Chain A
Amino acid sequence: MKNRLWLFFALVVLLQLAVPAKMIWDQEVILKEGETFKFKTRPYDPHDPFRGKYVRLQFDNTELVSYVNDWEKGDKAFVLLTKDEQGYAQVLEVDRSPGAGWRSSYLETTVQYVWPNEPYRIRISYPFERFYMEESKAPAAEKYFQEVVRDSTRSTYALVKVKKGEAVLMDVQVDGISLVELAKEKVDSE
């Protein structure tokens, strides 16, 4: 009886360590093996009860027209990605499941909105809309971001690793400089 208890205890302990470890592993694999894409973005509204402050990101190119007809809100939508001449991510195709010829650089997204009389026209949301930041920097970053967005000569984008449907948001940058750095400068200068 006592041995069984300790065995169970050991199993529970291992499981409690293994599940977070597996979460880390999955993300690391995407970071190591995924392809890097830049997604044009705008930020807004940071908040979360458990995980602290984040900058919420809003992306361009989320309105798509597909061959599939009967989309409903909440459906999964797979998008095949490509890069335009400036290196930004573009959606090449959208479908209910990854197409036969799709290799690695596709992404699983969620259908957010379907146009009422055009069931083939959808708006999707990407699985990386939160960029977590240190609590003192998040508001500064958001303010900074809003100034930058008005300036059309500067470009803001999210740096994302993509591998077979999954993605890890690595950084948010303005003209090649990390938002974390920019926010730090902003906080320091105030």
Chain B
Amino acid sequence: MSKKITVDLGELQENGILTEETAAKIQAFYAVEGRSTSNRMTIAFSILGAMLVGLGIILIVGHNWDSFPRALKISFSFLPILIGQAACFYSLRNKRENASWREGSAVFLFLSIGACIAMISQIYNMEGSISSFLLSWLLLCLPIVYLMRSTLASLLFLVGITWYGADVSYGSNGVESWLFWLLYFSVFPFYYRLFREATFSNGFNVHSWVVAITFLIALGFLAVNLPVVMWLAYMSLLGIYFLLGAFFGFERQKLLNNPYRVLGALGTLGIFFFASFDDYWKDIFPAGFSPLNVFSNVEFYISILLFGLALYLLIGKGKWRDPMQLNPLSLGFIIYWMTFFIGGYSPLAAAILINILLLLSGLFYIRLGSHREHLGFLNLGLVIVTILIICRFFDADISFVLKGGLFVLLGLGFFFANYQLLKKRAA
């Protein structure tokens, strides 16, 4: 805690502005590790330092010192690992509560293991694909995450394992893809622990982003037999994200710290704008496809699972009892499932349903924005409506004069709505 705050607290207490109890609480709040800026800086620098040195070692290894005898190269390859292990040992023994030590030594060990394996495959000219290289590297590093309670090791693991998954899984359904999921979920207990113990700390927030993005990528690995069904899976996952972002304390966070809400909303809106064209429904289904085909595919059961989860979040925890409070985007995944089964028979009906939902979402955000006097929501609503209208211009046969007139009206609407809100705020 900075000296200034301590002095200020004393003064405030003397002048009777703060009670002793409150002052103690404030002191306790700032004393928690990770809250003070200087501590955060130390952690950041130790991670950065360890990363630079570790990556530097990998690059130096890449130079490939072929004038050195083999035995010397082999012993050098173990040196960084030994240093990393010693540093981890020291942090665990003497600096267990010091996040900078734990993170720094963990990251260094993580990277030096990669450098060692790279060096050995280089010495013996081993062919090894990038996926087998990543797999042995990451398997050896997984325990570091838990032993060192290292946020960054966990993040490196998540990114690495997603890379591995992309390498082995796209378009195949072998043993590797199951191994990928097992390993991917293996760091989730750590993420959960962060959620419990360090809710909405920096480490947790970055984790949320990385988890949200890598999971979106990883879901694509499951598209094997009938990729079109993955639209259902993706819409359900985005539905889960969107709803998740409204619970568990995420609803009180800034949008920057709520990746689930942001990705859920943008993803749902993005797919919906595509799906608002009836051409979309004519194009996505492969020739000879009937909605009844889906029941025999793994992709469908994955989608069902995700749909169930989203539905649980909506009904089990949701605000569905008050329809005026219900954000239409929360219903996006249900509407999409309905249209998916209609779309094959009547593209037009599907497109109309999607258009209605988009329009409702736009109106919802306009209303929310003016109700809460929030310019961001107001303009999001206006943007949704505007994009929707622009999209409809592409397929409707409307004269230029009419198009022009509508655009002028829309523009005026933007000005008017924002002006009204600002005036309301000022009053």
Given A9-B147, A12-B147, A132-B122: A50 and B114 interface contact (C-beta under 8 Å)? yes
A12 to B133, CA, bound (A): 19
Contact of A27 among B126, B130, B140 (CB under 8 A): B126
Contact of B62 among A8, A24, A135 (CB under 8 A): A135
B77 touches A20 (CB 8 A): yes
- With A50-B133, A51-B119, A51-B121 already in contact, 13 other A-B pairs whose C-beta atoms are closer than 8 Å: A8-B143, A12-B143, A15-B140, A16-B113, A20-B78, A20-B81, A20-B116, A53-B62, A54-B125, A132-B66, A133-B66, A134-B64, A134-B67
CB nearest to A132 among chain B residues: B122
Does chain B have a CB within 8 A of A52? yes
Does chain B have a CB within 8 A of A130? yes
Nearest 4 pairs of A and B residues by beta carbon? A52-B62, A169-B125, A27-B124, A12-B143
Chain A nearest CB from B157 CB (Å) reads: 14
Chain A nearest CB from B175 CB (Å) reads: 14
Given A17-B81, A50-B58, A134-B63: A23 and B113 interface contact (C-beta under 8 Å)? no
Contact of B66 among A17, A128, A180 (CB under 8 A): A180
Does chain B have a CB within 8 A of A1? no
A149 to B58, CA, bound (A): 33
B81 touches A127 (CB 8 A): no
Does chain A have a CB within 8 A of B61? yes
Does chain B have a CB within 8 A of A19? yes
A134 touches B66 (CB 8 A): yes
Return the CB mask of A6-42 against B: 1 if under 8 Å, else 0. Answer: 0011001101110110011001000000000000000
Chain A residues 95 to 146 lying within 8 A of chain B, measured CB to CB, are 127-135, 137
CB nearest to B115 among chain A residues: A50
Chain A nearest CB from B385 CB (Å) reads: 46
A137 to B65, CA, bound (A): 10
Chain B nearest CB from A152 CB (Å) reads: 27
Contact of A9 among B89, B116, B118 (CB under 8 A): B89
Chain A nearest CB from B95 CB (Å) reads: 14
Return the CB mask of B92-130 against A: 1 if under 8 Å, else 0. Answer: 100000000000000001000110111111111111001
Does chain A have a CB within 8 A of B214? no
A54 to B74, CA, bound (A): 18
B136 touches A50 (CB 8 A): no
Return the CB mask of A45-79 against B: 1 if under 8 Å, else 0. Answer: 00011111110000000000000000000000000
Does chain A have a CB within 8 A of B13? no
Does chain B have a CB within 8 A of A168? yes
Does chain A have a CB within 8 A of B144? yes
Return the CB mask of B130-146 against A: 1 if under 8 Å, else 0. Answer: 10010010001001100
Chain B nearest CB from A49 CB (Å) reads: 8
A151 to B125, CA, bound (A): 27
A-B contacts, 26 of them at CB < 8 A, read: A5-B147, A8-B147, A9-B88, A9-B89, A12-B143, A12-B144, A13-B85, A17-B78, A20-B81, A20-B116, A20-B120, A24-B120, A27-B120, A27-B123, A50-B58, A51-B133, A52-B61, A52-B118, A129-B127, A130-B127, A132-B122, A134-B65, A134-B66, A137-B66, A168-B125, A169-B125
